[in-house]
C-alpha cells in the first residue's frame, strides 16, 4: 500500500509578511497564529509520512486506513489531530528513537476515529498506566494490548466504556480535564494534561494525575492570570487564546524555584510549575508562549545559520547557549520585559517596586544580549529584518524612567548572575593554573602568564536558586519582612541549609566587609562552594583595592587557582590574599 496522506487542502504554511513583522516586533495576531498552526500541520504530516515509510506493519497499515477514514468523515478532527501539541512530540520521538514509540500512533488514531464518530476497531498497546487516548483521557487495563471499538456513536477501550463526556471520570476511565476562562469577550480554553505519555519531552517531572483540589486551584489561578493578560496585555492575550491549547502541570520543585518550559516539538503546549498566583502565571504563560511562537515561525522561515556551538552568555540561563538558543531567550524576555513595563504602572506598593526592578533588570539584560546577536554575521536577510523589528520595540522602552534604587538593584542582580556563569562555565587552562599554584606555594611572584580560558558547559541548565536575588526581591516587595529576615539570630540561619546565609544577609544590607569575611569562612569549609565564591566576588569588588577589577572581570581565576593550590598539596589559601597576589600581574 502506498503511503499518501490526504493533504491537498491543507495550507502550505505560508506566513503573510505583515504577520511576520508583527511576530518580529514581539507580538502576533490570531491570524498569524493560525498561519503558524497551518505550518505545523504540514510539518507533522510530513513527519507522519516518514514514520509510516520507515516502519511498515499490519497494525500501522490498519491505523493508516482508520486515519484516512477519519479525514474523509470529519476533516476538522483530522487537522486537530495533527495540530495537537503532543502529536508533534510523538512524531519527533518516533523518528528519533523508533522502536516501541512508533506504535504510539495507534492510540492517537483511535482518538481521531472517536472524534470523527467512526465505526472502527483498532488494536493498541497498553502502557504501565493504561491506554491514553490523546485529547480524551485514559483507560485502565492489565492486558498488554486491547482493542478500541467504535459502533453507532458508542466507544470502548477493551472493557472500559467511554463516558458521554470523555473529560469526566467513569469506571476504569480517567478523563482529561479542561480549563476555561473568559474576560471581556476573550476566551482561553486549554487541556490540563496530566496523562499524555509524550507530555514530558524536557524530562522536567511532569505531574501525575492531579487531585480535584489541585485541578481547581489551576482553574482559579488561571482565572486571575487571564484577567491580567486580557485587561493589561491584550495583544499577547489574543495570540495566546488563538494558539495555547494545553498546559502540562509539573511537580513542584523541592526548593520552591519555579521551572517552566516549552517544547519546540509541541506547539500549543507549555509546561508549568504550580503557580503561586495569577500574576506569576500570567508572566509565565506569556513568557513560554513567546518561545512557542518563535519556534513555529522558525519552522516556516529560517532566520540564521547556527553551528550549534554552546559558547554564548545568556543572562537567563546558567549554561552557555548556541546562537539559536540566545535568540529564543531574547525573544521570550522581550515579552517578559514588556509585561513588567506595563505592570509597574498597574501594581501598587511593594509589588510595583518589584515590577520596576524586573523591568529595569530585563530591559538592560535583553538589550545587551540583543546587541550581541545584532553583531553576528550568521543571520540571513529575514533574520536581519526580524532583528530590526525587535530593535524598534526595545528602543521605545530605553528612555522610560525607572527609580534609581530599582536600576541599581537590577545591575547588582545582573552582575551576580554573570559572575556565577563565569565560575560555572569558563575554564582557565589547567596547566597554567598548576604553574601559578606552584608559584603561590613556593612564595614566588606570579608567573608572567597570559591565562587562556575556554568555555566548557557546566552541569546546570536553568537558573539555580540565588538567595541574594531572593533577598533583593523581598527587600522591594516586603521591606518589613526583609528586615525581620535580616534580624534572625545567626544560629537560626545556620540551622536551615535552604535559607540565606549570614554572608548573603550582610551583602543585602550593604555590609560588604562582613560579607567578605563570612563568604571567606564558607569557602574555608567548602572550597568548591560556587555560591560563596560568587558572593565573595560581588562583595570584594566593592572596594578600591587592585583586586577589585579581578573580582569583577575574571572571578573564575582566583577560584581556579585556589583549587589548583589544593591539588598541588598546598593549604587552601585565603581567597582575598590570593586575589591580591594575582592582581600584581597583568592577566588578560
Question: Which DSSP string corresponds to 115-166?
Answer: HHT--EEEEEE-BTTBEEETTTEEE---SSEEEEEEETTEEEETTEEPPSST
Instruction: Give the pLDDT mean for 239-243.
Output: 98
Q: What cell numbers appear for 56 in the block?
A: 511498515
Q: How many whole angstroms separate alpha carbon 115 and alpha carbon 292?
A: 26
Lowest mean pLDDT, pick from 70-74, 125-129, 306-310, 494-498: 494-498
Starting at the edge strand that comes first in sequence, how are the strands of the sheet with 154-157 ordered? Answer: 120-125, 145-151, 154-157, 160-161
The stretch 279-287 carries a mean pLDDT of 98
- At 462, the pLDDT band (50, 70, 90 cuts) reads low
**3-class state of residue 37 by DSSP:** helix
Residue range 226-237: mean pLDDT, rounded: 99
**Whole-prediction pTM:** 0.92
The mean-pLDDT minimum among 220-229, 369-378, 435-444, 454-463 falls in: 454-463
* Residues 225 and 282 sit within 8 Å (Cβ to Cβ): yes
Taking only Cα atoms into account, the Rg of the chain, rounded to an integer number of angstroms, comes to: 27
**pLDDT, the chain, mean:** 92
Q: Calculate helix-pair angle for 349-374, 467-477, nearest 10 degrees.
A: 130
Mean pLDDT of 231-238: 99
Tell me the C-alpha distance between 59 and 124, whole Å: 9
Burial of 491 (0-12, 13-18, 19+ CB in 10 A): exposed
SS3 category, 260: strand
- Give the per-residue pLDDT at 499: 76
Burial 96-115 (b: 16+ CB within 10 A, else e): eeeeebbbbbbbbbbbbbbb
pLDDT in tens, 76-125: 999 999 999 999 999 999 999 998 899 999 999 999 999 999 999 999 99
pLDDT over 80 at 496, yes or no = no
What is the DSSP track for 55-66?
A: S--HHHHHHHHH
For 236, phi then psi, to 5°, come to -70, -40
- pLDDT band at residue 461, thresholds of 50, 70 and 90? low
- Alpha-carbon distance of 153 to 113, in angstroms, equals 11
What is the tens place of the pLDDT at every residue in 16-25?
Answer: 999 999 999 9
Rounded to an integer, what distance in angstroms lies between the CA atom of residue 499 and that of residue 572? 26
Please tell me the distance from the alpha carbon of residue 568 to that of residue 392, in angstroms, as a whole number: 54
pLDDT in tens, 501-517: 999 999 999 999 999 99
Under the banding of pLDDT at 50, 70 and 90, the label for residue 258 is confident
Instruction: Band the pLDDT of 465: cuts 50, 70, 90.
Output: confident
**Distances in whole angstroms, Cα of residue 65 to Cα of each of 68, 121, 288:** 5, 11, 37
Is the backbone of residue 389 left (phi > 0), alpha (psi -120 to 50) or beta?
alpha
C-alpha cell at 382: 529575514
Domain ranges of the chain: 17-176, 411-582
Query: What number is the average pLDDT over the span 51-74?
Result: 94
Query: Around Cβ 116, how many Cβ atoms within 10 Å?
Result: 22
Q: CB–CB of 287/330 below 8 Å?
A: no
Distance CA 539, CA 275 (A): 33
Distance CA 320, CA 458 (A): 8
pLDDT in tens, 141-168: 999 999 999 999 999 999 999 999 999 9
Span of 367-381, 484-498, 533-547 with lowest mean pLDDT: 484-498
pLDDT, average across residues 295-310: 92
**Grid cell of 323 as nine digits:** 546562537
Note whether 243 and 288 are within 8 A (CB): no
Q: Which three cell numbers stand for residue 313?
A: 552568555
Please determine, for residue 291, whether its predicted confidence score (pLDDT) is greater than 80. yes
Where does residue 362 rank: exposed (0-12), middle (13-18), buried (19+ CB within 10 A)? buried
Whole-number Å distance between alpha carbons of 585 and 583: 5
Candidate from 53-62, 254-263, 422-431, 523-532 with smallest mean pLDDT: 254-263
- pLDDT, residue 1, reads 41
Long-range contacts, 463-467 (Cβ 8 Å, 24+): 463/257, 463/316, 463/317, 463/318, 463/417, 464/257, 464/318, 464/420, 464/531, 465/255, 465/256, 465/257, 466/416, 466/417, 466/420, 466/531, 467/499, 467/500, 467/501, 467/504, 467/531
Record the cell numbers describing residue 261, joined without a space.
518550559
User: Looking at 162-243, which runs of residues are DSSP E strands?
Assistant: 173-175, 177-183, 186-192
Given phi > 0 = left and psi -120 to 50 = alpha, else beta, which region is 288? alpha
Tally of helices (H runs) and strands (E runs) in the chain: 23, 14
Residue pair 530/467 in contact (Cβ under 8 Å)? The answer is: no
CA distances from 456 to 103, 308, 309, 318, 453 (A): 39, 14, 11, 12, 9
Phi, psi of 133 (to 5 degrees): -100, 105
| pLDDT for residue 488 | 74
Take residue 282 and report the three cell numbers written for it.
Answer: 500570567
Q: What percent of the chain has pLDDT over 70?
A: 94
pLDDT at residue 497 tops 50: no
Amino acid at each position: 500500500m502506498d503511503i499518501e496522506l490526504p493533504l491537498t487542502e491543507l495550507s502550505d504554511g505560508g506566513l503573510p509578511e505583515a504577520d511576520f513583522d508583527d511576530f518580529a516586533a514581539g507580538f502576533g495576531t490570531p491570524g498569524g497564529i493560525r498561519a503558524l498552526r497551518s505550518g505545523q500541520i504540514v510539518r507533522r504530516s510530513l513527519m507522519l509520512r516518514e514514520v509510516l515509510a520507515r516502519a511498515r506493519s499490519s497494525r500501522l497499515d490498519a491505523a493508516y486506513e482508520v486515519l484516512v477514514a477519519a479525514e474523509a468523515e470529519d476533516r476538522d478532527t483530522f487537522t486537530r489531530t495533527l495540530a495537537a501539541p503532543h502529536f508533534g512530540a510523538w512524531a519527533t520521538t518516533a523518528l528519533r528513537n523508533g522502536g516501541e514509540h512508533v506504535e504510539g500512533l495507534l492510540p492517537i488514531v483511535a482518538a481521531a476515529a472517536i472524534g470523527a464518530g467512526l465505526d472502527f476497531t483498532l488494536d493498541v498497546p497498553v502502557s504501565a498506566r493504561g491506554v491514553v487516548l490523546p485529547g480524551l483521557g485514559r483507560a485502565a487495563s492489565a492486558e498488554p494490548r486491547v482493542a478500541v471499538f467504535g459502533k453507532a456513536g458508542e466507544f470502548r477501550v477493551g472493557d472500559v466504556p467511554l463516558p458521554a463526556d470523555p473529560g469526566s471520570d467513569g469506571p476504569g476511565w480517567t478523563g482529561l480535564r479542561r480549563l476555561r476562562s473568559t474576560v471581556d469577550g476573550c476566551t482561553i480554553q486549554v487541556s490540563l494534561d496530566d496523562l499524555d505519555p509524550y507530555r514530558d519531552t524536557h524530562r522536567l517531572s511532569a505531574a501525575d494525575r492531579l487531585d480535584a483540589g489541585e485541578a481547581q486551584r489551576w482553574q482559579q489561578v488561571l482565572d486571575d492570570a487571564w484577567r491580567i493578560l486580557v485587561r493589561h496585555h491584550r495583544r499577547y492575550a489574543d495570540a495566546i487564546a488563538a494558539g495555547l491549547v494545553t498546559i502540562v502541570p509539573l511537580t513542584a520543585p523541592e526548593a520552591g524555584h519555579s521551572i517552566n518550559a516549552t517544547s519546540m516539538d509541541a506547539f500549543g503546549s507549555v509546561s508549568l510549575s504550580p503557580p503561586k498566583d495569577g500574576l506569576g502565571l500570567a508572566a509565565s504563560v506569556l513568557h513560554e508562549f513567546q518561545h512557542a511562537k518563535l519556534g513555529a515561525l522558525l519552522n516556516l522561515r529560517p532566520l540564521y545559520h547556527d553551528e550549534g556551538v554552546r559558547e554564548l552568555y545568556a543572562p537567563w540561563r546558567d549554561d552557555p547557549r548556541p546562537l539559536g538558543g540566545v535568540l529564543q531567550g531574547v525573544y521570550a524576555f522581550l515579552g517578559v520585559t514588556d509585561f513588567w513595563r506595563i505592570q509597574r504602572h498597574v501594581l501598587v506598593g511593594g509589588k510595583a517596586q518589584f515590577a520596576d526592578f524586573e523591568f529595569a533588570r530585563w530591559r538592560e539584560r535583553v538589550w545587551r544580549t540583543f546587541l550581541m546577536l545584532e553583531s553576528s554575521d550568521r543571520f540571513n536577510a529575514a533574520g536581519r529584518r526580524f532583528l530590526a523589528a525587535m530593535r524598534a520595540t526595545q528602543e521605545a522602552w530605553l528612555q522610560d524612567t525607572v527609580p534609581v534604587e530599582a536600576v541599581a538593584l537590577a545591575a547588582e542582580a545582573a552582575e551576580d548572575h554573570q559572575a556565577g556563569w563565569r565560575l560555572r562555565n569558563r575554564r582557565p587552562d589547567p596547566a597554567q593554573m598548576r604553574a601559578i599554584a606552584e608559584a603561590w606555594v613556593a612564595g614566588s611572584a606570579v608567573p608572567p602568564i597570559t591565562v587562556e580560558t575556554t568555555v566548557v558547559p557546566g552541569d546546570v541548565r536553568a537558573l539555580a536558586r540565588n538567595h541574594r536575588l531572593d533577598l533583593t526581591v523581598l527587600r522591594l516587595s516586603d521591606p518589613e519582612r526583609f528586615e525581620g529576615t535580616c534580624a534572625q539570630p545567626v544560629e537560626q540561619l545556620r540551622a536551615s541549609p535552604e535559607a540565606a546565609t549570614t554572608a548573603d544577609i550582610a551583602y543585602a544590607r550593604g555590609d560588604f566587609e562582613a560579607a567578605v569575611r563570612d563568604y571567606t569562612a564558607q569557602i574555608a569549609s567548602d572550597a568548591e562552594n560556587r555560591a560563596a565564591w560568587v558572593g565573595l566576588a560581588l562583595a570584594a569588588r566593592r572596594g578600591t583595592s587592585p583586586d577589585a577589577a579581578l573580582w569583577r572581570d575574571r572571578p573564575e581565576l582566583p577560584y581556579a587557582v585556589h583549587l589548583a593550590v589544593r591539588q598541588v598539596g598546598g593549604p587552601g589559601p585565603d581567597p582575598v590574599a590570593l586575589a591580591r597576589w594575582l592582581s600584581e600581574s597583568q592577566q588578560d
